A and B are shown apart, each in its own frame.
Chain A
């Protein structure tokens, strides 16, 4: 069990020392696959280009734990979202990842959208969701009193939830590492020399060569580029940008459900949803780009979001904005994931995990391991994973700063450092000493929420940085 960030990789050149499986890409999907592999007596490596897990698409999504009610019936995505959603809800309960089952409302703003609701209910039923129900305009107003004028009705989807997108991949990675997986960060794989029938593959990374018998591509936006390294050209990833606005916690009282748009001819439209951190988010936009690094926001994008938000929830726009960000979805032109097993290469591609990868992650992990077995990997007997318990970042669950018993045992939990988010010195200390410690202040933010609040560091930034640098030295 180890996490490395620098220096040479472990020597895998001697016979029998190669990894059994290497998963490339430590987003939520790669972390879930590595965790699933950790159940077996295998030598597993998780290799990531950036300095932390979850730095790609996984850190910047809308954080909804989908039911899959609107997936394409019969698709692999529909099945894995449905299964993954249930698995993650259970896993979250077990590990302390915050989930709030707030439910969703598909709000119809015109007659056409209203007329579409029965069709969506039928689609949901075909996806196994029979709990949807129609809400008329008056009923909707009672459910969401702050909705703007003109809403005609809604389809209620009771089981949709919001989840913490930051602790989820962190929990997987932590559990994988504690169960024996080697996590190599700052380690982009630049070339692949596929092995022959008996010889391991050689992965040429910036930190040296890594040999592995089986290989998994979980490279997110770069899944096509990685495929190309082994000579596969099955699909192209088009980055589809989603810009989002996160509003102050004072907005949380304005909305009770995930307010989804009715999908129509003009695309999916933007949603308004509570976050488990007690904010409200508005977004995402949908812009097809060709730059896989274009995670910036734009003036036009933000203006468009605000215009739509003003219509859905006018009072939202009176609140302060806490954060602006953008994420990229891995669109491939197909209405499904691009998962493919290549037995001749002892290689599985888990690509095209578009806008549902957080929800489906655990099911993707299980599915990938099944494919690896089909590809010839001997799984061996199952063994239990190391139990993990994640720090709670959710506002609906007890936080350390309000826990008298915990403070009595350890006064560091009574010392609030980040005041807006009420993050204590104890939590920052724990994150810095954790199994997969943060590499940057942003990594620390995703583990503790320090500096993620309304002041964005005006009050606490200098102190948090000092704590981080003290540890890093």
Chain B
């Protein structure tokens, strides 16, 4: 940071990101008397992604309603929620650099909670070849354009193709239709999935984007191996999440290889003393209530830290095996209250095995079906039996 006039400040807890996770953490911490609890939000409005999910799907609420309620709860509990304030880097182990219209600050906290969320991988990051026409969106950009800026068919496009097989593809379809855009098809790589009110090409892949200036179509290879051009002027790439881990990484917080989010223990402690991480930052998108529950759950460990509790060592790494894509938490420093794992595909009544150094800690047949778009929460009683001096704990899902 250059020039004089950088304000140095201190707070007790600094939460970065005013989405469901950060706001829930702040609300509980402020209510528990953690001292000055400050939440930084880089957008003009607090609330995170639900702000532009103008529909149900958040318990009894619409997204914006849910977001407003979360903000109100944090403010009422005594947390300070600052908007238009972006954390841009670190000036010390627990000191963040901040840019706001009011100037530059360096804020030192006794504990930092990172809740910076996740984003969808872009068309480039997915390495989809072809031309670079206008008319290419992610669901995040689409929803904001429609719900926050009122864009309609004339400015979005007439005919869209949605790419993706996660639940958010359905949201993209709904948003497009609300904006008056015709949805030509959904292209889903998975062979199966929920029904949608538009044609779904299952087991299909986008090979290329076509069009000069403006998109004119997407080249698709279908499940039968045949390729064809779907004519459209808009394409929405949905799902395929990557945590917004920039701040975590620049702060030297080690990431988990599978999730690309910070590696945390059951209390959401990262490997950097005093720095916690919650919500979608940990692994990409879960429902808002899950992110908010993590925000509430982190409060106990933050309070313990403020009271002087020692920071535990790295603990035992938890790794994914078989048909498990990722597991969270990523390290065990003691019993885990909950565990989240993502299957890499659909399995009927799979066998869950937990092993450490060849020793089976837990084995069970999961009831029903697991699928790639929903996390599984297996029982966690076995976490008490983990040898703290042993090797990695491997969690697997296998066909029965």
Contacts and interface: CB of A to CB of B under 8 A. Distances in A.
Interface of A: 246, 250, 293, 295-299, 301-302, 320-325, 398, 401-408, 411-412, 414-416, 419-420, 422, 440-442, 454-459, 461-463, 465-466, 469
Contact of B99 (A297, A320, A416): A416
Nearest to B250: A250
A101 B262 CA distance: 35
Contacts, number: 136
Given A404-B6, A407-B104, A414-B99, A458 B119 contact: yes
Nearest to A419: B42
B149 A404 contact: no
Contacts of A322: 122, 124-125
A414 B149 contact: no
B8 interface: no
Contact of A463 (B2, B121, B144): B144
Interface string B311-348: 00000000000000000000000000000000000000
Contact of A398 (B2, B100, B209): B2
Interface string B101-137: 1111000000000000001111111010111101001
A329 to B, nearest CB: 18
Interface in B179-221: 207-210, 212
Nearest to B52: A462
B160 interface: no
A321 B127 contact: yes
B379 interface: no
B84 interface: yes
A45 B137 CA distance: 38
B101 A415 contact: yes
A415 B98 CA distance: 11
11 contacts: A296-B209, A299-B208, A302-B129, A322-B125, A324-B129, A407-B103, A414-B99, A414-B100, A419-B86, A458-B120, A461-B140
Nearest to B123: A456
B304 interface: no
Given A321-B124, A462-B148, A414 B2 contact: no
Sort chain B's interface into a size bin. Answer: 35 or more
Nearest to A415: B101
B76 interface: no
B127 A302 contact: yes
Q: Please classify the interface of chain B as helix (H, G, I), strand (E, B), loop, or mixed, using the class held by over half of its residues.
A: mixed
Contact of A411 (B4, B5, B101): B101
A234 B24 CA distance: 71
A459 to B, nearest CB: 7
Residue with the greatest number of chain A CB neighbours at <10 A, chosen from B2, B6, B124, B134: B124
Interface string B140-181: 110011001101000100000000000000000000000000
A456 B3 contact: no
B1 interface: yes
Given A301-B129, A465-B149, A469-B155, 5 more contacts: A401-B88, A404-B6, A440-B134, A455-B244, A457-B137
Nearest to B117: A459
Nearest to A424: B99
B234 interface: no
A299 B124 contact: no
B141 A405 contact: no
Contacts of B5: 404-405, 408
Contacts of A297: 129-130
A406 B3 contact: yes
B129 A320 contact: no
Nearest to A295: B131
A403 B141 contact: no
Nearest to A420: B246
A322 B242 CA distance: 13
A413 to B, nearest CB: 8
Contacts of B121: 320
Given A462-B145, A465-B145, A416 B138 contact: no
A462 B1 contact: no
A296 B103 contact: no
Interface string B230-253: 000000000000101010010000
A458 B249 contact: no
A199 B138 CA distance: 56
A428 to B, nearest CB: 14
A457 B138 contact: yes
A398 B2 CA distance: 8
B124 A422 contact: no
A163 to B, nearest CB: 22
Contacts of A459: 119, 140
A298 B129 contact: yes
B88 A404 contact: no
B6 A416 contact: no
A296 B122 contact: no
Contact of B129 (A250, A299, A440): A299
Contact of B3 (A321, A324, A403): A403
Contacts of B207: 299
Nearest to B1: A402
A402 B100 CA distance: 10
A323 B124 contact: yes
B84 A415 contact: yes
Contacts of B137: 457, 461
A408 B1 CA distance: 13
Contact of A405 (B4, B125, B140, B155): B4
Residue with the greatest number of chain B CB neighbours at <10 A, chosen from A293, A408, A441: A408
Contacts of A320: 121, 125, 242
Contacts of B119: 455, 458-459
Given A458-B119, A458-B120, A404 B104 contact: yes
A401 B99 contact: yes
Contacts of B127: 302, 321, 324
Contacts of A296: 129-132, 208-210
A142 B143 CA distance: 48
Contacts of A455: 119, 122, 138, 140, 244
Given A401-B99, A465-B149, A458 B140 contact: yes
